[in-house]
Amino acid sequence: MRKTHLYWWFLGILIVFAVYKTWFAKVDDLEVALKLAGANRRELEKVIAHYKNVDEDKEKLKATQFLISNSIIHASQKTGIRDIYHNSIQFNPLDYKDFPSVREAKDSLFKVSQVTTIINYDIQELRSDFLIKHIDRCFKIWRGSPWKDKIDFDKFCNYILPYRGTSESICYWPEELYNKYQNVLDTIQEKTIINTCIALNTAIANDISYDNRWVARGLGVQSIHDILETKSGMCDDLTVYGLCVMRSFGIPVSIDFDIHGRHNYGHSWCVVFDESGDAESFGPGEQHPGEHKHTFAKSRYRTLAKVFRKNFSANEDGLYLQVNDENDIPPFFRVRNISDVTKEYIKTYNIEYMLEQPLSVKQKYLYICVFNNGVWKPVQWGEISQDHVVFENMGADILYMIGCFNKKRIYPVSEPFILKTDGSKKFLGTSSVKVSKQFAIKVIKGYEAPKKNKEYYLYFWENRRWNLSQTIIVNKDSLLDLANLNKNTLYKFQNFSRPFTVNDSTFTWW
């Protein structure tokens, strides 16, 4: 579906977080944020003064403090392209017919262009007039909604009040989106949160649609104003749009996402909280609440290993709080505003692992990884206790590997294993037992099939690394003939395919 963008921009603000952590023990969150605002501090103090001295609304003042305090962990990320003369180049994926043509055009363009990712930190960009206008509008909609008394202040602050969904460019959208969809309210007989969400989602389906050409473009998440113009996007774009539409009507919504367990990259969708506080997932412009959760059972690539929720505020149980230097943990776990919600979607298991031998480098934590987009990606951490570690709330029918993080990379600690649906582990090692059956498969890289007569390198996992097994040539039917394979062994083709296992009758992609 798409490459997860959640932590792309995060690497650029580690210094800010390090300063934040140093100050955190000395002063309150608001003062930390104001210090980090630098030259923008005056703008933020105008908002605080407005609700102290002009509006004199204690709830709005508290909400202002919430937004400013947590804005230090948010930023906009935008990738720009310039020619050799430093002129900006606009790259619109809708100018091309399909995913491969967009990717080909992008690759050609990037070879001769200057590509720069610009990060704008919220704490240094937010303006007083924008914040006051946004806060006033959100309170007006929330206080006037039929379910106001069912949405407590904390839920309002995290899931209605925020001015952004993820890393898109900031713009003012509450009134524009409300005005665009307000006629939908006349069609709802019983105005509950879920009924209103479904009605709005039906209307959204007429205005935006998923288009994988945006995935190939790969230049970040569109802003709301961008989506209103392009009327399409990847799942990250659609979730931001759906989230903002719902919030403009006082509906509490967040974004959930996974890193695929049996497919490359990941997926994101929205979740709405009803009057009882229960969360219900939905796909903006696609599946409604009550329907969406069934999509995970329809295809192998949505087999869930982990699901995370994006909040506006920082997660107080995050691994980043347990370490002295955030560079000692993988970048994904330095993200401060995500929480693990896997148990809301599937039956989960705690995976216990006993270290077979001492680690070569002293470690306090280990990480359980899925194989995604050609690398082992950590999705959960566990603290080592007497050579024993537990990884909580893991999804089954997934290939995992346990590793440690050192010198900016994951090093394998365990052999790969499959967590079976009964909670047991099946470790994959090397075996001399040959599989009697031969297989002919089509290995797809992105959206391209293997080319006739091309050589493909097959690797197997042994001694905690990939080793060359054999070279295979694509046959006249554009298939790869696989023979002389071993049981209980993990294989993959170089660079692009999912790993797989075989037995006498079955070929299984992991």
Q: What is the pLDDT of residues 240-274, one digit of tens each?
A: 999 999 999 999 999 999 998 998 889 999 999 99
pLDDT, one tens digit per residue, over 361-373 is 789 999 999 999 8
H or E segment at 473?
A: strand 465-473
Instruction: Assess whether pLDDT exceeds 80 at residue 2.
Output: no
The pLDDT, as a whole number, for residue 235 is 95
- To the nearest 10 degrees (0 to 180), the angle between helices 128-143 and 174-181 is 40
3-state SS, one letter per residue, for 33-86: HHHHHHHHHHHHHHHHHHHHHHCCCHHHHHHHHHHHHHHHHCEEEEEEEECCCC
Beta strands in 165-233 (DSSP E): 209-210, 232-233
Q: Parse the chain into domains and list their residue ranges.
A: 9-310, 319-427, 439-509
Q: How far apart are CA 425 and CA 16, in angstroms?
A: 41
Please tell me which residue, 301 or 200, carries the higher pLDDT value: 200
Tell me what pLDDT residue 475 has: 87
Report yes or no: 271 and 255 within 8 Å, Cβ to Cβ. Answer: yes
pLDDT at 505: 85
Cα–Cα dist 462/353, whole Å: 19
The pTM for the full model equals: 0.90
Q: What is the pLDDT of residue 358?
A: 82
Please spell the DSSP secondary structure of 378-420, one letter per residue: EEEEEE-BTTEEEEEEEPSSEEEEEEEEETTEEEE-S--EEE-
Does the pLDDT of residue 452 top 80, yes or no?
Answer: no
Q: How confident is the model at residue 84 (pLDDT cuts 50, 70, 90)?
A: confident
pLDDT above 80 for 302: no
